[in-house]
Amino acid sequence: MNRLKLAYRPIVFVVTARRYISTPARVRFAPSPTGQLHLGGLRTALYNYLLAKKTNGQFILRIEDTDQSRYVEGAVENLIRALDWAGIHHDEGPDKNGPHAPYYQSERTELYRRYAKQLVDTDHAYRCFCTPERLQKVREARQKQGNYIAYDKHCSYLSEEEIQTNLEKKIPFTIRLRTPYEGMTEHEDLVYGKISFSNKTIDDTILIKSDGYPTYHLANVVDDHLMEITHVLRGEEWLSSTPKHLLLYKALGWKPPLFAHLPLLLNPDGSKLSKRSGDVYVEQYISKGYLPEAINNFVSLLGWHPGHDDTTNDALFTMKELIDRFDIKDINHSGAIVDHQKLDWINKHHLLKRAETKEGLNSLVDMLKPLIDNRYSNRLEPNYLSKVIATIKDRIRNIHDIPDLCSYYFIEPNYESKDAVTLRNKLKQPAIDLVATKEFKEQLDLLPLFDAEHIKKHVYESADRNKLNPNHVMMALRYFLTGSRVGAGVAETMEVLGKDTVMQRLGIHK
């Protein structure tokens, strides 16, 4: 038997055989509108979406906005936009009609109050009249004693007469869950296996705050039940809240959904992923040119892997392939390292795949055009940009690499750059002399077709006549035409640049 510590709570868990899910799953993604969509949030949404589609179920988007002090204007719209960009489309949600509307928790507060009253009436919850000052003193005193259960259950012992007196005095109160002190609360997590929580470590959590708004715990349980959620896939940080939710389900007489808690996302050094560590928001990845299929592929592997399959690559998946192969039993509970080098590798392969079709290539052109427009404001013709991408695609990881790595497609080379000087120092003088001759350039100008095949033939024949290494001649051409050591084949680059640009850079002005 192993022991896992989450926050301050000891949780005993035993990994057992986990159930295979074959019936339609009804799942939800329930973010708070407090800012941009986090990479971890996208993973949670993706896993829920994959499970729903795998089982022919439904994926619901619910907005948990009961904490109005943290509400950020436009956050819901941005969140939906990010999910749509990723191809994660909800079946029900705040922007779609559904049988369980409304999908904003702030519009469901009367429901929560009704069920909170039911819990009080059945003695599964109680009113707490303690002031913030008393709660703080109790918390500090109990911590000094090594007792990390923050509340001492003081108001759970009030008589009915004392309660009525406080109500008549209009003393503010919260509603707390009456947690049993003895026994264990157990459940079988689809990732962690069987988990047992000692009830004496579970606080009498607040269900309704003094302002009348519900806490996450009550709203979450009520909505998951009323919206007929069958599976709850959420981050590991919610594992310690699970016993509270299970006790709530029991108190309300409801069957709980199945739970699967997802591993933490970590930096390469093992620390928890945070915005101080670099890019953590989906919009940051969008702005940097990552493809949605690459981000989905990358995020899917943060805690899940389907194992080896001889028919597919073990790391590259389309959305359809992810749906086909996704299974909760393949999720592990070890922290998942966010490796951006792996993301770049995945993005490169999806970029190559996109470029294989005309539609895909056109979409890459649409991504490249504003980048070029912002930097160079020329050569924006879609046909030209598609040729640039098709030529250079094997040498880039991201469409955003092109303006910097391949600026010579759009502006004159900078022969004073460090890269150009390094290349210049490697050139052979006889090759430079050949490229500079009038004969070489005139023959190049007179080629019947200015394409890679004819250009290569001309270079090789010229080098052979002059007893030179054709690779040295190509290197000289690369210097004069690009000023860069990095790029596609020289002949292919010349074809894309076009005869007029090539002749101009070689010193023939037409």
At residue 237, φ and ψ (nearest 5 deg) are -65, -15
At residue 48, φ and ψ (nearest 5 deg) are -65, -45
* Among the listed residues 335, 293, 334, 327, the one whose alpha carbon sits nearest the alpha carbon of residue 307: 327
- Report the first-to-last Cα separation within the chain, whole angstroms: 81
* Among the listed residues 428, 446, 427, the one whose alpha carbon sits nearest the alpha carbon of residue 438: 446
CB of 94 closer than 8 Å to CB of 76: yes
Pairing relation of β-strands 58-61 and 231-235?
unpaired
* Cα distances (angstroms) measured from residue 229 to each of 27, 221, 223, 410, 492: 5, 10, 8, 54, 56
The yes-or-no answer on residue 153 being catalytic is no
* Among the listed residues 285, 167, 189, the one whose alpha carbon sits nearest the alpha carbon of residue 234: 189
Torsion on CA atoms 486, 491, 492, 495, rounded to nearest 10: 120
- Which residue in the list 275, 288, 426, 457 is annotated as catalytic? 275
Residue 269 CB neighbours (<10 A): 7
Relative orientation angle of helices 429-436 and 470-482, to the nearest 10 degrees? 70
Residue 229 burial (10 A CB sphere; 0-12, 13-18, 19+): buried
Catalytic residues: 275
